Amino acid sequence: MSALHRKLIRDLIHMRGQLFAVTLVLACGIATYVTMRSSFFSLEAAQFDYYSQFRFGDVFTHLKRAPESLAAAITAIPGVAAVQTRVLMDVTLDVPGLDEPATGRLISIPERRAPMLNDLFLRQGRYIEPGQRGEVLISEAFASANRLGVGDSLDAVLNGKWERLHIVGIALSPEFIYEIRPSEVFPDNRRFGVLWMSRDVLGPAFNMEGAFNDVVISLTHGASEREVISRLDQLLDRYGCLGAYGRQDQISFRFLTDELEELRVYGSILPTLFLCIVAFLLNVLLSRLVGTQRGQVAVLKAFGYTNWEIGLHYLQLALVAVTAGTLAGIGAGLWLASSLIKIYERYFHFPALQLHIDAPLILTAVAIAAGSACLGAVSAVRRAVALAPAEAMRPEPPATFRPGLLERIGLRALLTPASRMIVRNLDRRRWRAVFSSLAVALSIAIVVSGRYAMDAVDRLVSIQFHTVQREDVTVVFQEPRSAHVRFELAQLAGVLRVEPFREIPVRLRLGHRWRLIAVLGLLPDAELRRPIDSQLHPLTLPADGLVLNTKLAEILGARPGDILTVEVLEGARPVLQIPLVSLADEPVGLGAYMDLSALHRLMREGDTISGAYMKVDPAIAPRLYSVLKRIPAISGVSVREAMLASFWKTFGESMGVSTAFLVGFASVIAFGVVYNGARIALSERGNELASLRVLGLTRAEITRILLGEQGLLTIAAIPAGFALGFALSLLLSRFFSRDLFRLPLVVNAGTYAFAALVVFAAAIFSGLVVARRLRHMDLTAVLKSRE
């Protein structure tokens, strides 16, 4: 080992505290990178494999009823590679152990197993056997949420008759990676599940013998999705087609793709922030080291060491820290990624979701770490290289100071000499102070934006489920019914209020933009479901015309006053011109509303309803549920509280985990910055402080002077951190302004307080760690030392 290497090792040992802090920040940066990137790649790979191996469709549509012979015509559409016709029905299920009725989505499968689009992965049990009437496969998410296994059975209403279904297998389909009831945002796997049963059983049960009501299509390579969709719409128009759509509008695909996008964005922003801070910390650290080692550099140069050797020596110091941080970061990242994958497994259901680690990812992590280290080290190393030996022999020229900004604007009298020291020291290294403060601000912002997600979801739930949707139970009928059904519902024990609604599937068009959507007809004086305006006040539905929510209006480019083309996809399928009257502003989904009777008039139909919202007496709700389960006309029942409870359970846990990580990351940054700042200050001003001790200042007094600087920077960082946190939250709310849901921009006071508290605690902790060093200060040495 060369002497220079020995020096390297000793310097490393000497600076272990500071290097540790830098290493920690770096490790966090690399860990976030590895976690997010590898989760991203894992999910993406799992999605790709699943979709291709199990032939996930490209175009989907639902219709009223079409003869099987039409399948050939669909296949003949140019660009169509394969067609899968199916029978798909939503029915009420009676699940053992569950009070509320569950909704089962029954999907037909061939009686004998054959390759199909949206093919099934059989996790457990076996495929259905021909001729066995009651056999079903059920989705894994539904099975595990209800603890159902192979051999168990449940009851379902099949076209008016109760049937007992026997579970023979647990399956997964690429169609339901994210398994959610249509038109909802939060999955509730207890009360919504997918069941596959024989086409030969399902068809006759719903009057679909030799017919189908659902199509999945795959496209040939290079086919135009738009073209196929438009041809398909034409072909199926007279069969009650609800409009064909591509993967982009397939709900499970959409959720998963949004999540991937999120990971991709976070995976580049967070690590970048960390690594900028690492570069900054290393720069300060090495600049100081080169400063204190001027004499040593001079001696080395005098003895004939080349600039290259000396430059490399200091660079190595940075690289050792970086190597340690990178290794730790990669290890932690992989561990975190495997936990993140476990969280994802609860939301997204794959046959196999495995952590996907590849060499390029690891190598990129290493390269990024090395890059940030070199970026930070280069200017300091250059200074060491540039020192002329003779100049380096002399001590660094004394620091020049001038009155600080505060004093220049006339606040001198407010400051004691000790505070002037603090202010001027900061002023002298202005950029360093600005960057330190910014880094601490960033850590505050990270916590703020992390908690923002929680605040926003909280707000979203409170707006959507306490202001917009105030019903306890929603029932949906198999077929539209006469409105007098509402009185029958009202008769049921436990029902306090019934408000009917009419839902009509339409294609909403403005110019060349269009969207498939259901127009919701509501009573004008509805209390249980009321669209709201941007001020959260309930909207009165106009006697005529449409109300769209802002997101839908944005998608269509529509403004109040515009005339929209409404192609009704039900009944006589009229094409109507309806003005957009006003905008509603709810945070979930896309919505189009009309006055119930106006809708009836337009549809030229009598008093017909699709379902009803109900307020129920919680005390006798379970009895009501068991009654509802038995009403064959009802195809779906959703219970708001149950859905919310199940949401908070999953979301709350994953939110808790992510908050814990963000708090950890922010603390590491704050610790790294404040600790290093204080150590550098101690190294630069150790002599001053010791002199002051000799002059009779107490340890508390010099501690105040030493930590005052960091304290001031931390305090300055708080408003900056709040502003930055708000800006980040704003970005997030823009980013999360999606069809499925939109995060409102609300940051609670508690979130700011929490963020400030976390960072302050980290800062105080690091300050105290450094302050302990003041105890062991050698007072006699300063009498002799020149620094």
> What does the binding site for another protein look like in residue numbers (CB under 8 A)?
397-402, 416-418, 420-421, 424-425, 428, 687-688, 691-699, 701, 779-780, 782-787
Q: How far is the CB of 397 from another protein (least distance, A)?
A: 8
Q: Which is nearer to another protein, 302 or 411 (CB)?
A: 411
Q: Which is nearer to another protein, 490 or 779 (CB)?
A: 779
Q: Which is nearer to another protein, 166 or 693 (CB)?
A: 693
What Cα–Cα distance (Å) separates residue 641 from each residue in 527, 534, 589, 680?
17, 25, 19, 56
Strands in 41-141 per DSSP E: 59-67, 80-86, 88-94, 102-109, 121-125, 135-139
Rounded (5°) CA angle 200-202-205: 105
Nearest Cα to Cα of residue 476 among 640, 609, 569, 570 = 609
Q: How far is the CB of 398 from another protein (least distance, A)?
A: 4
Q: How far apart are CA 699 and CA 690, in angstroms?
A: 9
Q: Which is nearer to another protein, 282 or 705 (CB)?
A: 705
Please provide the distance, in angstroms rounded to a whole number, between the alpha carbons at the two ends of the chain.
31
Within a 10 A sphere around the Cβ of 105, how many other Cβ atoms? 23
Q: How far is the CB of 676 from another protein (least distance, A)?
A: 20
Q: How far is the CB of 395 from another protein (least distance, A)?
A: 10
Q: Which is nearer to another protein, 193 or 404 (CB)?
A: 404
Q: Which is nearer to another protein, 309 or 684 (CB)?
A: 684
Q: How far apart are CA 330 and CA 721, in angstroms?
A: 28
Q: How far apart are CA 388 and CA 297, in angstroms?
A: 9
What are the φ/ψ torsions at residue 215 (nearest 5 degrees)? -130, 140
Q: Decide: 250 and 60 in contact? Cβ < 8 Å.
A: yes
Q: Which is nearer to another protein, 164 or 772 (CB)?
A: 772
Q: How far is the CB of 282 from another protein (least distance, A)?
A: 26
Q: How far is the CB of 685 from another protein (least distance, A)?
A: 8
Q: How far apart are CA 329 and CA 25, in angstroms?
A: 9
Q: How far apart are CA 284 and CA 318, in angstroms?
A: 12
Q: Any alpha helices (H) in 348-462, and if so which ranges? A: 359-386, 389-393, 405-406, 417-428, 430-462
Q: How far apart are CA 533 and CA 540, in angstroms?
A: 10
Q: How far apart are CA 602 and CA 622, in angstroms?
A: 39
Q: Which two tokens stand for residue 773?
A: 């060093």
Q: Which is nearer to another protein, 159 or 687 (CB)?
A: 687
Q: Which two tokens stand for residue 307?
A: 């600039």
Q: How far is the CB of 383 from another protein (least distance, A)?
A: 20
What is the residue type of 481?
R
Q: Which is nearer to another protein, 540 or 687 (CB)?
A: 687
Q: Which is nearer to another protein, 248 or 698 (CB)?
A: 698
What Cα–Cα distance (Å) separates residue 295 from each residue in 11, 314, 390, 398, 687?
15, 15, 10, 15, 18
Q: How far is the CB of 421 from another protein (least distance, A)?
A: 5
Q: How far is the CB of 583 from another protein (least distance, A)?
A: 60
Q: How far is the CB of 379 from another protein (least distance, A)?
A: 23
DSSP label at 56? -
